[in-house]
Amino acid sequence: MSDNKGADRARIILEAVRLASSAQVPSLHLLIARESNILQLELVLRILLTYLPESTEPKVYIDLLHQIANSAVHAPTQSSPRPVQNGEELSDKEARYQVRRLHLLPLAEEQDLQAGCTDLLSLFLIHRARKIDLETGSIPEIQELLEPFLNRDPYLRTWTVSNILPLRRLNYEYYPDVEDPYTLEAFERLEGRPAIDSFLARSARVGGTETIQAGRDIRGLVGPWIYGESSRKRRKTHHDRRRSSLVSPTPAGQVASSKEQECHTAWSDVNDWLLDLALRDFAAAAETMEQWDGPSDVDYDGYNDHENLDVDISQNLTLRYAQAGLSML
């Protein structure tokens, strides 16, 4: 690349950063359409992730995301005038120096790479969702950002169903008056039986007069969360498995059965919670089992209704649930 071309590229990138920083999305959209050979997908996503204010409403830039992800960026219908490129006032050397100092955020975070996500837009959306939560705490805004892209990538859909859906219900619908609601960061760290206990802590007030809501909460909180539990455990064991595979191959069928085993373990934790509840308040446990029909009774809010458990797994889980119910007697 000649010095002149390198300097021109640097000025275009600096202009994109300036427009993103001030949330001038229509002008940025126009610049990307005009300079698409330079402002390509990964670069644009990293600029947006690093510089677009988290308070920017998703509806302002969702159309731009659709276009750059499909490599079909065209000027907005109501195009703004050609942006004034402040970078043109810089010397070639200064323009290149400022680009080197940008330190754009990477799209991928470690936990998503470990889970095997490679789609650039999905990585951007999840990282952006975490940043929005840190800055504004607005789960509905995160949901608005993610929903148009859920059919693009299975990992994005799983992450949304198992994190954003139950977190929205927990903080905004089921228990909106809780003084210390979960953040997305804290929610993603939950695992195992402690997570079940946390989700259902408010559901069955033993000895109280409140209506028991444990059945609703298992169906609407625990069920969607368990949907992504296998992904969480795969992230946790990813490096160990890669190491051991260098020494001895994973036995055939072990990988295929891991998801089934993780599903069994998670629902077994729910059964154990019901048994513990029955020891303290049998009536509350019985009411919960009347409200909830077992592991196949999960409310995905339409996000994942087309993907059901394998028949054999579902029957096995239902049998274990029935056995837990008999154990209460």
- The per-residue pLDDT for range 87-103, each reduced to its tens digit, is 557 788 888 889 999 99
| Residue 239 binned pLDDT confidence (cut-offs 50, 70, 90) | very low
Closest to 320 in 3D by CA, of 254, 284, 275 = 275
Per-residue pLDDT at 71: 83
| Residue 231 binned pLDDT confidence (cut-offs 50, 70, 90) | low
* Model pTM score: 0.86
Mean pLDDT, rounded, for 135-162:
95
Per-residue pLDDT at 218: 96
Contact 269, 196 (CB under 8 A): yes
Largest CA distance in the chain: 82
Which tokens is 173 given?
A: 């619908």
**CA-CA distance, 68 to 62, in Å (whole number)?**
10
Interval 197-213: pLDDT, tens: 999 988 866 455 456 79
| Residue 228 binned pLDDT confidence (cut-offs 50, 70, 90) | confident
Spell 104-143 as b/e; 16+ CB within 10 A means b.
bbebbeebbebbebebbbbbbbbbbbbbbbeeeebbebbb
Give percent helix, percent strand, percent coil of the chain, each to the nearest 5. 65, 0, 35
CA angle (120 as vertex; 118, 125 as ends), nearest 5: 110
Per-residue pLDDT at 241: 47
> Higher confidence at residue 37 or residue 71?
37
Per-residue pLDDT at 205: 61
- CA-based end-to-end distance of the chain: 78
Per-residue pLDDT at 221: 96
Query: Is residue 136 predicted with pLDDT exceeding 70?
Result: yes
Interval 46-66: pLDDT, tens: 999 999 999 999 999 999 999
Query: Is residue 243 predicted with pLDDT exceeding 70?
Result: no
| Residue 248 binned pLDDT confidence (cut-offs 50, 70, 90) | very low
Mean pLDDT, rounded, for 118-127:
96
Mean pLDDT, rounded, for 233-241:
50
Contact 124, 152 (CB under 8 A): no
Average pLDDT, the chain: 84
